[in-house]
Structure 1
Amino acid sequence: MKNRMIAICDKEAAYAYNLVDYFNNKNNIFFSEAFTNEESIHEYAKERFIHILLVSDKMNIELINKKNIGLTILLSEQEAVLAGKTYKAIYKYQSAGNILKSIMNYYAEREDEPLSLLNKKCQIIGVYSPIKRSLKSSFCLALGQILAKEKAVLYLNMEEYSGFSTLFQKEYKADLSDVIYYLRQDKANLLVKLEGIVDSINNLDYIPPVSSPMDIREVKKEEWLKLFREVSANSKYETVIVDFGDGAEGLLELLSECNQIYVPIREDYLSNAKIEQFESLLDKAGYEVLKSNMKKIKLPYHNSFGSRECYAEQLVWSELGDYVRSVVR
C-alpha cells in the first residue's frame, strides 16, 4: 500500500502530470500528485505531510510551507547544477525513469523509519548448476519475463561475469555492489534504495549485476542472507529469481533459502559426473534436504535469432520460452 507522497510542482502542467502518471505506474512505495503553482502546494502542505517535494527551480520556493515537507528536491533546467546549495537537484530534461531513480537514491540516504510493504508470500527461486554452458542465465531471463506478466518479479544475478552491459548495451550507474554497500551501512530504507537501482525488461525488474568478480567474492554469506530475507519479507516482489554462480560465499546455505531450485543439466558423461559430484557434496555437507527442492531440467538449445540487442526479449517466444512455460504450468 502506498502511504508516502511525492508532490511534483511545475508550471508546465503537461510535464508535471506526465511525470505523476509515470511515477504512479512504476513506484509501489509512494503515490504522486501534481501542482502547477506555489499557492496550491502551500495550501496542501498546511493540512498534509509531503514526504518528497519535487519542485521546479523556476518557482519561488520561499512561498511554499516547508514545515510539512520531508525532503525538497529541485528540478533544474540546467544540466550542470552547482554543488553546495540548500537543496538537492535533479536535471529536468531526462527520462522519467532516471528522475525517479535519482529521487529514490536521495530519499534512501535519509535517516528514516524503515519501510515495509509486508509481502509475506514471496517465493525465492534459485537456479544453479555446476555445469558450464547450460543456458542457466537464459533460462532465468525467460522464466522471469514469463512470470512477470502476472506478478512482481525481481531477478538477482550473482554470477561473477554476467555480460549484462554488453547484452543490454548500457552502462549502469549503480549495481549489486551498491546494494551490498548500502546494506553494510545498516540504513533503514533498503527498499527505497532498490527502487533507485533496479532496471527492468518486459516488466521483469533486475538489479544490475556486479562489474567485477571481486565484488561477488568479497560479500559475506550473512550479507547475502540479509538481502534475501529483507527483499522476501518486506518488498513488493512476489517472486525473486536468484541466478547463482560459484563465487558466492556459503553457496549451500544460500540455496537453502530457496523454495524451489532449478538445476540445468546436460547429458554428456562429464556433465553427469559433475552433477553426481554436486549431489555427493550435498550429502557429505549435511544439505541432502536440498535434493527435495531441486528439479533437474534439460534446456533446449536454440540457434541464434534476431539481433543481439533483443536477445533477452526474444527468449520469451523461443523454444526455450516454450519449455519454461511447460515447466511453470
Structure 2
Amino acid sequence: MKYKIFAVCDPEREYAEKFSDYVREHGNIPMDIHVFTQIMELRAFMNTQRIEILLLSEQLLSEDTREWPVGTVIVLKEQGEKKETDRFPGVYKYSSVRKILREVMDIYGQGDSIPAGERILKPACHVIGVYSPVSRCFKTSFALALGQILAAGKPTLYITIEDFPGLDKLLHESFESNISDLIYLMRQGEGDLISKMAALVGHIAALDFIPPCTAGQELRGVSPEEWHELFREIIDHSSYEAVILDIGSGLAHLDDFLTECDVIYMPVADDIYADAKLASFENFLRLSGSERIAGRIRQIRMGEPELPANRDRYLQQIAWSGIGDYARDCIIKDGL
C-alpha cells in the first residue's frame, strides 16, 4: 500500500519547509509530506498523483480549486478568524505549527479517510507494558525514559492509565482534550480515529503521548473490549512502531491490560514489603488463570538510581539518568 499524500503549498518556502519538517518529526501521520511554493508545480504534481490533504495558502486559491484531485483542502488564512470560508475550512497561518496540525487533523478526521480493515504497512508494533504492584519504585519515570529512548529511533506513543497521572503538572500545561474524548469518538464510529488522535497528541521531545484524564475514574466505564479496540486501531492504522502502556495498580480488569502487552517491565524495590506484594501479585495471576502473563514479565530492581538534578526539567532529562540506563539495558536485551 502506498502512503497517502499530505501537501503544503505556500509561497513562503521557509514557512512551508518548517511546517513539513515538524509534521515529519512529530506528526506520526501515515502520509508522505510534499512541499510546493508555486501553483504551477502543484498542478503538475496533481496531474500524476492524488493528494489526500492539501494545506493551501489563501493567496493561491483559484476558481477551479474544488475540482482538483484532493481529498481535503484546508486554507492557510492570513487573518485570525478560523471559521470556514465560502468553500473550504481554514486555519490561521500564524498559529503555532502544533496548533495548526491539530486543527488540520481534526478537520480531516471528520471524513472517512482510512477504509475499514485497511492496515498501514510498517514494522511490527510492540506493545510494552510498565506495571508494578509495588509503590514508589520509579515505574512512571522508567516508562517515560523507555519511551523517549525508543522514540529517538522509531515512532513511539505513550499512554498512561493511572488514577492520578499528573502529567499536566509535570509539563506545566493544560490539555484541551484527553483519552476519554478519544474513546468517545471511537464509540461514535464516525470518521478516521487515528487522524482525530493525531489532533490531540502531545510531545515530550520525540515521544508522543495521549493526554490522560485528570482522574482515572473518568475511565471506569470503559470495557476491556473497548480498550482492546482502541489498541488495535493504534497498532493497525497508525504509524507507531512502539506503544508504552503505563498501567496503574488500581485498575479493574488488570489482567486484560497485561494481556495486551508483548512484554511487561515491572520495577520493584528491594525490601520485604515489595517482596510480599510481588508474591500477592503472582498469586493473583494463578487464581485468575493468567499464568501465561508471567512469562512476559521482566522484573527490574533499580535500587536508588541517579535522578535528574533539575526538577523543572525532570521529564526531559529522565532518559539520561540512571533510570534511563536501566531502560537502555532492557531495550538491548529484548531487542526492542
TM-score normalised by the chain length of structure 1: 0.89
- Does residue 282 (structure 1) correspond to residue 285 (structure 2)? The answer is yes
1:128 offset after TM fit, Å?
A: 1.1
Residue matched to 1:191: 194
* Equivalent in the alignment of 1:34: 35
**Is residue 165–residue 171 contact of structure 1 (8 Å, CA) maintained in 2?**
yes
> Following TM superposition, by how much is the alpha carbon of 1:81 offset from its aligned partner in structure 2, in angstroms?
3.1
Asked whether the equivalents of residues 130 and 264 of structure 2 are also in contact (C-alpha less than 8 Å), the reply is yes
Following the alignment from structure 2 to structure 1, what is the Cα–Cα distance between the partners of residues 21 and 321?
33
Distance 2:303 2:168 in 1: 25
Q: Deviations over 1:298-321 (max 9, x none)?
A: 223346643333101211221222
Partner of 2:224: 221
Deviates further, 99-108 or 304-313: 304-313
CA distance in 1, matches of 2:24, 2:331: 30
1:186-265 → structure 2 map (5 Å cutoff): 186-187=189-190, 189-265=192-268
CA distance in structure 1 between the aligned counterparts of 2:213 and 2:2, rounded to whole angstroms: 30
Specify the alignment match of 2:57 in structure 1. Answer: 56
Compared CA separation, residues 237 and 81, structure 1 to 2 (3 A): closer
1:46 Cα deviation from its structure 2 partner:
4.8
Moved over 6 A (4+): none
Quick one: which amino acid aligns to residue 101 of structure 2? L
What is the root-mean-square deviation of aligned Cα atoms in Å?
A: 2.4
Contact 1:9-1:53 at 8 Å conserved across structures: yes
1:3–1:295 Cα change, 3 Å: closer
1:283: Cα distance to partner?
A: 0.7
* Alignment correspondent of 1:68: 69
Shift of 1:222: 0.8
CA distance in 2, matches of 1:304, 1:258: 27
Please say if 1:166 is aligned against 2:169.
yes
Tell me, yes or no, if structure 1 residue 136 matches structure 2 residue 139. yes
Q: Distance in 1 between matches of 2:33 and 2:129?
A: 35
> Counterparts in 2 of 1:102-113, with a 5 A limit?
102-113=103-114
Q: Is the 8 A contact 1:118 1:235 kept in 2?
A: no
Q: What is the distance in 2 between the residues matched to 1:302 and 1:260?
A: 22
Identify if the C-alpha distance between structure 1 residues 283 and 200 changes in structure 2 by more than 3 Å, giving closer, same or farther.
Answer: same
5+ residue gaps in structure 1? none
Of the structure 1 ranges 141-150 and 31-40, higher mean CA displacement relative to structure 2 is found in 31-40
CA distance in 2, matches of 1:317, 1:35: 39
CA apart distance, 1:90: 0.9
Query: Structure 2 vs 1, CA of residues 4 and 327 (structure 1 numbering), >3 Å: closer, same or farther?
Result: closer
Q: Which residue of 2 aligns with 1:327?
A: 330
Q: Which of 307, 313, 317 does residue 320 from structure 2 map onto? A: 317
- Residues 259-307 of structure 1 show CA distances to partners (whole Å, capped at 9, x for unaligned) of 1112221233332222211111111111112111112222233466433
| SS of 1:316 mapped into structure 2 | helix
Q: Percent identity?
A: 35
- Provide the C-alpha distance between the structure 1 equivalents of 2:219 and 2:93, rounded to a whole number of angstroms: 35
| TM superposition shift of 1:42 | 4.5
Match for residue 294 of structure 2?
Answer: 291
The superposition leaves residues 82-101 of structure 1 with CA deviations (integer Å, 9 ceiling, x where unpaired) of 46854222111122222222
- The Cα offsets for residues 35-92 of structure 1, whole Å up to 9 and x where unpaired, read as 3344554454455322222122334432535242221212122223346854222111
| 99 and 229 in structure 1: CA distance in 2 versus 1, 3 angstrom threshold | same
Pairwise CA distance, 1:247: 4.4
Letter in 1 for 2:7: A
What TM-score do you get using the length of structure 2 for normalisation? 0.88
The reply on whether 1:16 has 2:16 as its aligned counterpart is: yes
Of 276-285 and 80-89, deviating more is 80-89
Structure 2: state its 5+ residue gaps: none
Partner Cα separation in structure 2 for residue 148 and residue 18 of structure 1: 21
Aligned residues: 329
CA distance in 2 between counterparts of 1:49 and 1:308 reads 48
Please give the secondary structure, in 1, of the residue aligned with 2:281: helix
Question: Is the alpha carbon distance of 1:24 and 1:132 closer, same or farther for their aligned partners in structure 2, counting shifts above 3 Å?
Answer: closer
Question: Separation in 2 of the partners of 1:306 and 1:2?
Answer: 46
